[in-house]
Amino acid sequence: MTLKLTDVVLTYPDGDRTLTALDHVGLAVAPGEFTAVVGPSGSGKSSLLAVAATLIAPASGDVSVAGHDVSTASPATRTRIRRDNIGIVFQQANLLSSLTTLEQLLVMAHLAGRPVRDAAVRARELLHAVGLADKERRRPHELSGGERQRVNIARALMNSPEVLLVDEPTSALDHRRGEQIVSLLADLTKENGLATVMVTHDLAALSAVDTVLAMADGRLTAEVPAISGRAAR
Ligand code: ADP
Ligand code: MG
């Protein structure tokens, strides 16, 4: 398994008490598997991604990413794992307003200390894959919401991660563009052998995923019954 969470508990301080955001959560995602986690607002979806992304250390439980045991890793090692092995797509694209599409991607390679020439080749391949080959010189304000989200996704793949974590990618998009983004994520997952987790409260986003899990009150429960069976496709 490329991504594995075992018996993860995450709590936040909440006045005199603690709030349990993740309640003994287990999750395993194989290479090339596109997993969706659905659940209402406040159920713990973003917390789950933050733990998988090594941004927050859980109170207990184990997290393994691309063969690295994150739970026992030092902060410096966690940062390296996040940079080299994990692609993160947040809800808002958070693109840098002064940079072109191509430059948004090159920044990632620069941060990882990779040679600029190789990075430019990789960046153009990715922009082609997300359908933005002809928009590499645009700045964010010259792109539509869906295009910005595509840049966001391409940027997350710049350092060839094994794990892709995606938070509510369709929330700012209309239905059709939302579907296109999810279908793009499905294709990229297969083509790159990614272990992908997408959290969403948008049930319409699920047609292209392999596995659907339900999050409620910090518990990750069985596959959503009404749409089970997709994994067998
Ligand atoms: P979702 O992404 O499903 O909306 P979250 O993971 O953001 O859910 O939140 C789960 C629970 O944890 C909610 O009750 C939320 O209020 C709480 N929570 C999230 N982040 C924090 C934080 N940094 N400090 C305290 N409580 C938090
Ligand atoms: Mg959230």
Of residues 198 and 91, more confidence is placed in 198
Nearest CA to ligand 1 atom 20: 47
What's the CA-to-centroid distance between 167 and ligand 2, angstroms?
Answer: 7
Best residue among 11, 22, 47 to mutate for probing ligand 1, ranked by most atoms within 8 Å of CB: 47
Q: What is the pTM of this model?
A: 0.93
Q: What is the pLDDT of residues 176-221, one digit of tens each?
A: 888 889 999 999 999 999 999 999 988 877 889 999 999 999 999 8
Q: Report the chain's mean pLDDT, rounded to a whole number.
A: 92
Band of pLDDT at residue 224, cut at 50, 70 and 90: low
Domain architecture of the chain: domains with CATH: 3-97+162-232 (3.40.50.300)
Q: What is the pLDDT of residues 135-154, one digit of tens each?
A: 999 999 999 999 999 999 99
Q: What's the mean pLDDT in 30-51?
A: 96
Question: Quick one: which atom of ligand 1 is closest to the CA of 48?
Answer: 6
Overall residue count recorded for the chain in this entry: 233
* Ligand 1 pocket, Cβ-based, cut-off 6 angstroms: 12, 19, 21, 39, 41-47
Between the CA atoms of 4, 52, 76 and 120, what dihedral angle is there, to the nearest 10 degrees?
Answer: 100
Order of all β-strands in the sheet with 86-89: 86-89, 163-167, 195-200, 34-38, 211-216, 219-221
Q: What's the mean pLDDT in 29-35?
A: 97
